[in-house]
Amino acid sequence: MSYGFLDIASTPSVKAAQRANGSGAMWAGFDGDRQSDRFGEAEMQFIAGRDSFYMATVSETGWPYVQHRGGPPGLLRVLDDRTLALPDFRGNRQYISVGNLAADNRAALILMDYPHRRRLKIYARIEMKELAADAELAAKIAMPGSKAKIERAFVLHLEAFDWNCPQHITPRYTEAELQQALAPIKLRIEKLEAENQSLREQLAAKGN
């Protein structure tokens, strides 16, 4: 049966490695059908909430290049169940990903949710588009209030996705997430400090 992500990832060398390590029969006899060529509601919500991800491309020499991309939540825009859009911000002007994609439009993405220990892997083909050529797309990827300069749009056409297990994902939290989690404790501390101050004032008044 189909297992879309592994249908792409399982090259002859990968299958040989699976057999050598005792898992060849498990995947060769996979009994099921994991549809992974269309995002469901869970994937769409997860993607829309990310403020960063990792993207890998490959050069003509065969060397992979992994890049961290970040921005406000919703950086990756869900256009439909098979298409994402991404603003390509001006960075250090090396254009390694842009050059790689011009030669080979395949890319692999990993999206992380550290607090909840979730990880989504995506295979996609990326189409680079100039903003002046598609005003509607430019509007969809616009980042109001952001100072980052958008040079072009990346349109990602889904090939397959897969969820990873949470094992070995260390929970990490952003400053905003910590502030939200600690808000009740902060309020409790403020209340206790006010009570202490009131008691000190009462004791001082009795002493007089």
What are the pLDDT digits (tens) for 56-96? 999 999 999 999 999 989 999 999 999 999 999 998 899 99
Task: Give 30's DSSP letter.
Answer: -
Name the burial class of residue 36, with classes exposed (0-12), middle (13-18) and buried (19+) by CB atoms within 10 angstroms of its CB.
buried
Backbone angles phi, psi at 86, to 5 degrees: -140, 130
Q: What mean pLDDT, rounded, does the chain reach?
A: 91
The angle formed by the CA atoms of residues 26, 32 and 34, to the nearest 5 degrees, is: 105
**111-158 residue pLDDT tens:** 999 999 999 999 999 999 999 999 999 999 998 888 889 999 999 999
Of residues 99 and 204, the one with the higher pLDDT is 99
The predicted structure's pLDDT at residue 51:
93
* pLDDT higher than 60, residue 1: no
Q: What is the mean pLDDT of residues 167-174?
A: 90
Q: How far apart are CA 140 and CA 197, in angstroms?
A: 53
Any idea where the domains of the chain sit in the sequence?
Answer: 1-33, 35-171, 173-208
Give the 3-state secondary structure of residue 189: helix
Where are any strands of DSSP class E within 75-173?
77-80, 83-89, 106-113, 118-129, 150-164
CATH hierarchy code of domain 35-171: 2.30.110.10
Judge whether 191 and 197 are in contact, CB under 8 Å: no
Token readout for 80 is 């439909």
pTM score > 0.75 for this model? yes
- Amino acid 189 reads I
Q: How far apart are CA 69 and CA 86, in angstroms?
A: 10
Q: How far apart are CA 30 and CA 50, in angstroms?
A: 31
Of residues 46 and 205, the one with the higher pLDDT is 46
